[in-house]
Structure 1
Amino acid sequence: MSGFPSFDYRNASLYGESIRLDRIAGEFGTPCYVYSRAALVAAYREFDAAFAGRDHLVCYAVKANSNLAILNLFARLGSGFDIVSGGELRRVMKAGGDPQKVVFSGVGKRPDEMRAALDAGILCFNVESEAELAVVDRVAGEMNKIAPVSLRVNPDVDAKTHPYISTGLKENKFGIPFDQAEKLYVSSRQFANVRVTGLDCHIGSQLTELGPFVEAGEKILGLLDRLETQGLQIDHLDLGGGLGIRYSGESPPRARDYVAALCKGIGRGSQRILIEPGRALVGNAGILLTRVEYLKHTPHRDFAIVDAAMNDLMRPALYDAYHEILPVTANKGNVKTYQIVGPVCETGDFLGHDRKLALSQGDLLAIMSAGAYGMSMSSNYNTRPRAAEVMVDGDQVHLIRERESVDQLVAGEKFLP
C-alpha cells in the first residue's frame, strides 16, 4: 500500500487507478504529471458534503493547479473558483466555469484585470487594501457598473506553517490589518461604485491543525457583529482555504471537521459560507513521474540523478518541502541512502534528500503529492520544456497537456536588427 488515494501497488507495480504507471511513462515519456480523476472528484465531494445543507460555495483555488481539464472537471461538479490574476479568470472562463461563482483575490490587481472581471460579472473582488478599493471604485465608475467587494481582513493569527505560505500575520503583505478593518468597512459607503457584500479571511496554506482556523473565525465573527451593528449588510463570509494534506507523517483534519470548525458560531439562516481550498482538492490527486538517468556514487554521498528537476517541481528547492518518493516497480536490489537530484545547474536542484531506495539506472520513480503547486509553479529554466500532464480515469488515460517543445519556447523571441 502506498498510503495515497488512487495510487497503489499491485504485484510490486505502482498503479494510478487501473493503469500501471510504467505504461504511462512508456507512452508519454518523463518527466510527466499524472492525476487521478477519481481522487479529484472524491476530494471535491467531501468538501461539498461537509456543509450538510448549509448555503455555501466551494471556490477552488486555481493557483494550486490551473490545467483546463481539472478546472472543467470541478466546474461540472458545481465548483466556484478563487482566482488571483486576469490570466486565471480567462482559464476559468475557457474551462466553462461560471463567472458568478468566481472570487478575485490577490494584493496587486491591475485596472485591466478589474475591467475583465467586471465585464465577466464575477461574484466578488476580495479587496486587500484601501488603495485597491479606491481603484476598484474608479474602474467600476468608468464602466458604469457597481463592483461587488469583500474586504480581506488580516486577523494576525499564527497559522503555524512555513513562513513563505503564512498569510494571516500582521507582518504579511496580505489583507487589511484587523484593527483597521471596521473603519474601512464603514468608510466604504463613500465609494459610489462599490457594494460591500462579504467579509473575507485567509490565514495561510498547509495547515494541519484546527486551532488557527478557530481563532481566526472567532475574530471574524466578532468583527461581523460590529459591522452589522453599524448597519452594514454582509451577505457572505469567505473563510479562505489552507487545509493541509499528507506529504509524509501529517494527519490533517478531515473536510467535515474543518468545515464544522469554520462554521462554529455561525447561524444556519445567516450568511452564505465560501471556502477556497486548493491543495486539499488536488495535492494528493497527482504525482510526478521521473526516470533515473544516472547513479553517482562518491565517498561522501550517493546520488540518483533523475530527469525531473527544480523547474518541474519547485517546492523542495523553494520551501525545503518534503515529497515521498516511491519506486514505480519494486526493486529488490541493494538499498542505499540516495540524494534525488535533477540535471539543472543549481545545487538547490533536488527533489528529495536521504531517501532509502534500491535503484538501478533507468528505474522510474513517483514523486507523490505533486498535484498542487507542481505544474502550476513550473518553469523553463535551463531551456527545459515543461512536462506533459496526463489524467487517469479508471482504465483510461487522457493526455490533458502536451509536452512543450524547445521550438515553442523560442517562438516569440527575435534577433536584433
Structure 2
Amino acid sequence: MSEFATRSGVLHVEDISLTDIAARFGTPCYVYSRAGIVRQWQAFEAHMPAPHKVCYAVKANSNLAVLQVLAELGAGFDVVSGGEIARVLRAGGRAQDIVFSGVGKSDAEIRYALAQDIGQFNVESDAELDRISEIATEMDCVARISFRVNPDVDAKTHPYIATGLEANKFGIPMKDAMATYLRAAQLPAVEIVGADCHIGSQLTETQPFLDALDRMLVLVDALENEGITLKHLDMGGGLGVTYANETPPPIGEYLQAMHARLADYPHLALYLEPGRAIVANAGVLLTRVEYLKANRSKHFVMVDAGMNDLLRPSLYQAHHDIVNVVESSAPEVSGDIVGPVCETGDFLGQNRTLRVAAGDLLAVKSAGAYGFAMSSNYNSRPRPPEVMVNGDHAYLIRARETLEDVWRGESLIPNSNSQ
C-alpha cells in the first residue's frame, strides 16, 4: 500500500492526510487511491500486450469512478450481471471489451447483453448454452461464446472462494467439455471463440494456476483435432494480495510463467480477470472509536463501522490490518475491534493490539476490494460514502446514504383501523 504512508505521525493517502478526509466526509468512509489502482493495472498491462487482454473483475469494486479510471486506461471488464454491464457502459467502458460470466444469467440479462453487442459470454452450463442460442436466434444476432470449464484443481484457498473443484457450482466439468463444445458447434446463432476457467480467489501460489492451464491446454489440443480452433484462453483471476503475512508471487513472475506455458500456442491470446489484485490495497475504510469496553476476560474497541460496512472479516474470517491514523501515546489495548451491529459476528479484527483511545480515527487497510461492494443496510444503517483521492484532490464518488435512502422504494399499507 505504497500510496498510504505516514508523514509527521499521520497516515496519508497520496498527498492528503486521512484526518482531513475524515473531517470533510465523516466516518465510516471508504477512501481509494487513484494512483494505487493505476499502478496495479499497469503491472498487469506491462506483461499483456495485444492480443492478450486484462478484464477487470467488476464485482471486486464496482464504483463508477473506479470503473472510469480503468476504462480510461483501456481495460476490459469481467461482469457477472446485467447491472454490472450497465455500470461499465455508464463509466465509459466499451461493450466489445465486456466478458459476461456468472452461473445464473436470466433471459432479460442475456437479451440486454446481446442488444449491447458485448464481447462474449462465458457460458457455464448446457442449459445456458441452449438459452443463449434460442434468444440470439430470435434477435437475429450472433452470440460470441466461451465455455467456463471446471478443471478440478485445488486452489488451496478459503472454501467460500474456491471455484475450480467438481464440488463447486461453477463451470462445466472437464470430462463433459468436449461434448458440450461439439454440440455448440452445431447450434445456430453462436460463435465459439474461447475457453475459460477460474479456480478461485486470493491464491498465493503460482502452481495452481499452471496446473489449471496445463489441463486447459489439453482441451485446446483436443478441440483443434475436432476442427474447433479457439482464439483465446481465459484463465480468470484469483491472484492474491498481502493482507497480513501472505506472500503472493509478483505479478510479472506469475504472468511470465503463464506465457511460458503458452509459447507453443502463438495463435492463442491469454485473457485474465483480476479484481482484488488491482483494487484491494488501493483502499482503506476509515472508522472512529466510540468506546473502549472491558469485561473480566476481554477488551473491546467499539467503532462506528460494522459488518454491514465491511463483511469480509465476519464472512471469511478475513484479516485486515487496522492502525491508528495518528500515532498515539494512549495505553496499549489488546482485544477485538467490534462494530455497533447487533450480531456477535460483528467484528473488524480480533485479538489485536494497538494504542487507542475513544475518539481516535482508525484505518482498516486493504479494503478496496469486496468492501463497499458487499455492504448492506443491515440494522437500517446507511451505507458509508466513497472517496477517490488523486494527488492532493479528494473527490466524493458516492455520497453517504441518508435514512430516506435506506427505506427508498418501501411503502406503508393503509391503516388497518380505517378499513
When normalised by structure 1's length, the TM-score is 0.98
Q: Find the residue that maps to 2:46 and give its secondary structure.
A: helix
Tell me whether 1:298 sits opposite 2:315 in the alignment: no
Structure 1 distance, partners of 2:176, 2:266, is 28
Tell me whether 1:208 sits opposite 2:204 in the alignment: yes
Aligned position for 2:80: 84
Aligned position for 1:61: 57
**CA RMSD, aligned part only?**
0.9
Cα deviation, 1:317-362, whole Å, max 9, x if unaligned, reads 0001000001000112211202100000000000000110111100
Structure 1 distance, partners of 2:145, 2:302, is 49
- The one-letter amino acid paired with 1:225 is D
Tell me whether 1:254 sits opposite 2:254 in the alignment: no
Which residue, 364, 372, 376 being the options, matches 1:375?
372
Matches within 5 A, 1:8-407: 8-51=5-48, 53=49, 55-267=51-263, 269-407=266-404
Cα deviation, 1:129-171, whole Å, max 9, x if unaligned, reads 0011000111111101111000000000000000000000010
Structure 1 distance, partners of 2:330, 2:55, is 46
Structure 2 distance, partners of 1:228, 1:301, is 63
Shift of 1:54: 5.2
Shift of 1:245: 0.3
- The one-letter amino acid paired with 1:276 is E
Q: Find the residue that maps to 1:264 and give its secondary structure.
A: helix
Tell me whether 1:6 sits opposite 2:27 in the alignment: no
Q: Find the residue that maps to 1:366 and give its secondary structure.
A: strand
- The one-letter amino acid paired with 1:395 is D
Q: Find the residue that maps to 1:138 and give its secondary structure.
A: helix
- The one-letter amino acid paired with 2:211 is E
Q: Find the residue that maps to 2:261 and give its secondary structure.
A: coil
1:14/1:329 contact within 8 Å kept: yes
- The one-letter amino acid paired with 1:76 is E
- The one-letter amino acid paired with 2:333 is K
Shift of 1:189: 1.7
Structure 2 distance, partners of 1:82, 1:295, is 43
Shift of 1:187: 1.3
Instruction: Tell me the number of residue pairs that the alignment of Structure 1 and Structure 2 aligns.
Output: 413
1:239/1:262 contact within 8 Å kept: no
Tell me whether 1:416 sits opposite 2:419 in the alignment: no
1:213/1:261 contact within 8 Å kept: no
Shift of 1:272: 1.6
Cα deviation, 1:181-221, whole Å, max 9, x if unaligned, reads 01111111221111111110110000000010010000001
- The one-letter amino acid paired with 1:165 is I
Q: Find the residue that maps to 1:216 and give its secondary structure.
A: helix
- The one-letter amino acid paired with 1:16 is V
Structure 1 distance, partners of 2:350, 2:105, is 38
- The one-letter amino acid paired with 1:261 is A
When normalised by structure 2's length, the TM-score is 0.97
Structure 2 distance, partners of 1:11, 1:287, is 20
Q: Find the residue that maps to 2:378 and give its secondary structure.
A: coil
Cα deviation, 1:6-34, whole Å, max 9, x if unaligned, reads 01111111000111001100000000000
Shift of 1:265: 2.4
Unaligned runs of 5+ in 1: none
Shift of 1:109: 0.3
